[in-house]
Structure 1
Amino acid sequence: MNKGGKIYVAGHRGLVGSAIVRNLREKGYTNIIGKTHKELDLMNQADVRSFFEIEKPEYVFLAAAKVGGIYANSTTPADFIYENMEMQNNVIKASHDFKVTKLLFLGSSCIYPKNCPQPIKEEYLLSGYLEPTNEGYAIAKIAGLKMCQFFKKQYGDNFISCMPTNLYGPNDNFDLNNSHVMPALIRKFHEAKINNESVVEVWGSGKPLREFLYVDDMADACVFLMENYDGEEHVNVGTGKELTIRQLAEMIKEVVGFTGELKFNSEKPDGTMRKLLDVSKLEDTGWKYKVEMEDGIKIAYKWYCENL
């Protein structure tokens, strides 16, 4: 990317978008633009097209999305599929019509079938049934990925996609009703500690295996791909390492300093039992993660205490 080129980061205040802005600035990119939801509703096609016509961004990071954990995804699937498809359709089509030089679409590892062989290779996409608890979100992300592939195939647009594993870090969503497991547990343990509670409940059996990537590593991978990758196939982004939800809870408990007990509620859904990405394709291009889990959790918890 041209260091002085105009870069639009959609979702620049969110978990991933804010990290991408930090990374771009650290790398010397100076012409970065972002719009809040009040300034630009990405679900409004006319407004999106007007924005692209006026601003004429050269590069686009499409990190804006409606996201949430198992509870939010399973109870409001219509909202997840509709809102995400509206946003990504408008931005991708406007990027084509107004001749954006390059676009990166951010998906999610939930696009893969529920019972995928492990670790999950990019080629396993659409090879089986999806996890029902987040099917709406997953289908929207698959559609966005395919849109980028088809615009590249039909028109030659340089639109690429990456599929991150579970992300965490500064600017995460810590709302217990619609957050992911990492921020939810950080908040639960913190509140239990300051309220002198003796038990913290964790959803599910604690047995599912999950992979986590610190968000600044994700942002670094995004910028790396924009600078170095032009392939049609999407790229997995992760660490290639996994741990159980029980191990995660124990790690967060120690970082927060909660001294009580853990209680696993098996009546709550576990979701997919294992979801480890094969990241060999990304590593073969020359990128690898830097932040280990315990260090990342410490940074995330410090941010939570200072900001929320």
Structure 2
Amino acid sequence: MNILITGSTGMVGKNLINHNNAKEYSISGPSSKEINLLDKSKILDWLAKNPTDLIIHCAGLVGGIQANINNQSGFLFNNLQMGINLIDAAYKSGIRNFINLGSSCIYPKNISNEIDESMLLSGKLEETNEGYAIAKISVAKYCQFLSEKGFNYKTIIPCNIYGKYDDFSETGSHMIPGVIARMHKAKINNDNYIEIWGDGKARREFMYAEDLADAIWFCVKNIKQIPKFINVGIGEDFSIKDYYQTISEIVGFKGEFKFNRTKPVGMKRKLICSKIINQLGWMPKFSLNKGISYTYNYYTKEIQN
């Protein structure tokens, strides 16, 4: 089977390509220069020259809470344009199998219990990443509508992801890689404290990126059986303070936490229900402690050096 992976240089794309299951397929991972997803004619040209049986769409403009707040229009436009262009080009090229990578931010805010797939479009979105969420919802719905025409166009909705090949930069990182980088620096500088946005009580579900790659390959093999939307998570959430505490123990930071309650924190809780994929036979393999330990080891060996 010939598989196109977009976003092959990003965290999810690299973990997919380096997964053992990738060896079973012929994989293409062109760069944005080779296939510009903002130009549908370029996508059509590439697909005409490269036989493709299935597409895994991982490309996108991503960032943490501050990056989303500062660039709502860019997150909406770029992610919507890339997704719709790629799906429409795949459909017009007769490609019957497509796995779209969604995001748990497409679900309504302020849901205190587990979020299942039926809750999509059932309430108001979180304002801090509204642009990104609207783009992701639109792309997922386009996949759904084409699936109803007999195509296998499915959307995987993961919880928050971290791990090898993550972005540890100050401006572009999500929470776990950002905290790892800040805490490592604080340890080196012998800082007395590190700041946490909010009161630390907001809860999040984070999954190690290798687990997500494993789930995506599981869905590739079972693409006809999985529903149009399918959650992928670890089935457990922790408070922001819990994550800081776990990271501090692994990094070896001995200072205190100071809470900045003037900063935005996003949704109070975001735990997705992964019962469908679990019942189909997939389960995560990495605990939080193991995943963060592996990520910190990667950061010190690959990023710092």
Q: TM-score range by the shorter chain?
A: over 0.9
Q: For residue 210 of structure 2, what is the aligned residue in structure 1?
A: 216
In structure 2, distance between residues paired with 1:40 and 1:15 = 19
Spell out the pairing of 1:23-42 with structure 2 (5 A cutoff). Answer: 23=19, 25-26=20-21, 28-42=23-37
Letter in 2 for 1:35: P
Structure 2: runs of 5+ lacking an equivalent: none
Spell out the pairing of 1:47-58 with structure 2 (5 A cutoff). Answer: 47-58=42-53
Alignment of 1:131 onto 2:126: yes
Instruction: Give the CA deviation at 1:30.
Output: 4.0
Q: For residue 41 of structure 2, what is the aligned residue in structure 1?
A: 46
Instruction: Give the CA deviation at 1:167.
Output: 0.3
In structure 2, distance between residues paired with 1:242 and 1:16 = 21
Q: For residue 206 of structure 1, what is the aligned residue in structure 2?
A: 200
Give the secondary-structure state (helix, strand or coil) at the position aligned to 1:277: coil
Alignment equivalent of 1:281, drawn from 271, 276, 283? 276
With normalisation by structure 1, the TM-score equals 0.95
In structure 2, distance between residues paired with 1:6 and 1:128 = 39
Alignment equivalent of 1:196, drawn from 178, 190, 193? 190
In structure 2, distance between residues paired with 1:307 and 1:235 = 33
Give the secondary-structure state (helix, strand or coil) at the position aligned to 2:24: coil
Alignment of 1:290 onto 2:285: yes
Letter in 2 for 1:147: Y
Spell out the pairing of 1:1-308 with structure 2 (5 A cutoff). Answer: 5-23=1-19, 25-26=20-21, 28-153=23-148, 155-230=149-224, 231-308=226-303
In structure 2, distance between residues paired with 1:249 and 1:87 = 34
Q: Is the 8 A contact 2:147 2:228 kept in 1?
A: no
Give the secondary-structure state (helix, strand or coil) at the position aligned to 1:28: helix
In structure 2, distance between residues paired with 1:264 and 1:49 = 50
Letter in 2 for 1:277: I
Instruction: Give the CA deviation at 1:38.
Output: 2.5
In structure 1, distance between residues paired with 2:249 and 2:112 = 33
Instruction: Give the CA deviation at 1:39.
Output: 2.4
Residues 37-84 of structure 1 deviation map (CA, whole Å, 9 limit, x = unaligned): 222221122211111111121111000111111101111000000000
Letter in 1 for 2:280: T
Instruction: Give the CA deviation at 1:232.
Output: 4.4
Give the secondary-structure state (helix, strand or coil) at the position aligned to 2:292: helix
Indicate the RMSD between aligned Cα atoms, in angstroms: 1.2
In structure 2, distance between residues paired with 1:240 and 1:266 = 28
Residues 168-221 of structure 1 deviation map (CA, whole Å, 9 limit, x = unaligned): 001111122232111110000011111222211122210101111110100110
Q: Is the 8 A contact 1:152 1:232 kept in 2?
A: no
In structure 1, distance between residues paired with 2:227 and 2:236 = 26
In structure 2, distance between residues paired with 1:129 and 1:281 = 24
Instruction: Give the CA deviation at 1:28.
Output: 3.1
In structure 1, distance between residues paired with 2:25 and 2:218 = 17
In structure 2, distance between residues paired with 1:129 and 1:45 = 31
Residues 243-271 of structure 1 deviation map (CA, whole Å, 9 limit, x = unaligned): 10001000001111111111121111111
In structure 2, distance between residues paired with 1:241 and 1:49 = 41
In structure 2, distance between residues paired with 1:113 and 1:294 = 29
In structure 2, distance between residues paired with 1:90 and 1:52 = 12
Q: Is the 8 A contact 2:153 2:228 kept in 1?
A: no
Instruction: Give the CA deviation at 1:27.
Output: 5.2
Q: Is the 8 A contact 1:168 1:213 kept in 2?
A: yes
Letter in 2 for 1:15: M
Instruction: Give the CA deviation at 1:293.
Output: 0.3
Give the secondary-structure state (helix, strand or coil) at the position aligned to 1:16: helix
